[in-house]
Amino acid sequence: MSKFRALLVDDEKELMTAMVERLGYRDVEADYALSGAEAIEKMRNSDFDVIVIDLKMPGMSGTELIGIIKRDHPQVPVILMTGHGFSLDGEDVPEGVVEFLPKPVNIEELIEKMQKVIRTNGL
């Protein structure tokens, strides 16, 4: 698969900087946002092939952000990540989520899921 662009959204700065760096070593062009508002701004100014959003964040929740992203950028697949109990089979799955990733995140699993959702969406 050719190089792709990913936006990671989580309020944990150390986690985000480490993940972006590790993705860069694997030829994934990644950026991060520490809040929903910052993610919305980055989505307005850049094109991303996939977005990975933490469920629990202060201020705008991951669920709220997903709603905005899917309204404004319906073609961009969303992967949900969380350290809290969650399942894609549950009733609380925000509309638009195509994959789920538990924390702590395994970087290889993250890349596999990102590649899968990009392929599935024909990007």
Q: What is the CATH number of the domain that holds 16?
A: 3.40.50.2300
Number of domains in the chain: 1
- 31-74 tens-digit pLDDT: 999 999 999 999 999 999 999 999 889 999 888 999 999 999 99
- Which domain, by its residues, includes 102? 5-120
**Are 66 and 76 in contact, with CB atoms under 8 Å apart?**
no
First to last CA, the chain: 10
- 32-44 tens-digit pLDDT: 999 999 999 999 9
- Look up residue 123 and give its two tokens: 């990007």
Average predicted confidence (pLDDT) for the chain: 88
- Do strands 78-82 and 5-9 pair parallel, antiparallel, or not at all (unpaired)? unpaired
Interatomic CA distance for residues 61 and 54, integer angstroms:
8
Answer whether residue 85 shows pLDDT above 70.
no
For the entire predicted model, the pTM comes to: 0.90
Q: Identify which has the larger pLDDT, 25 or 90.
A: 25
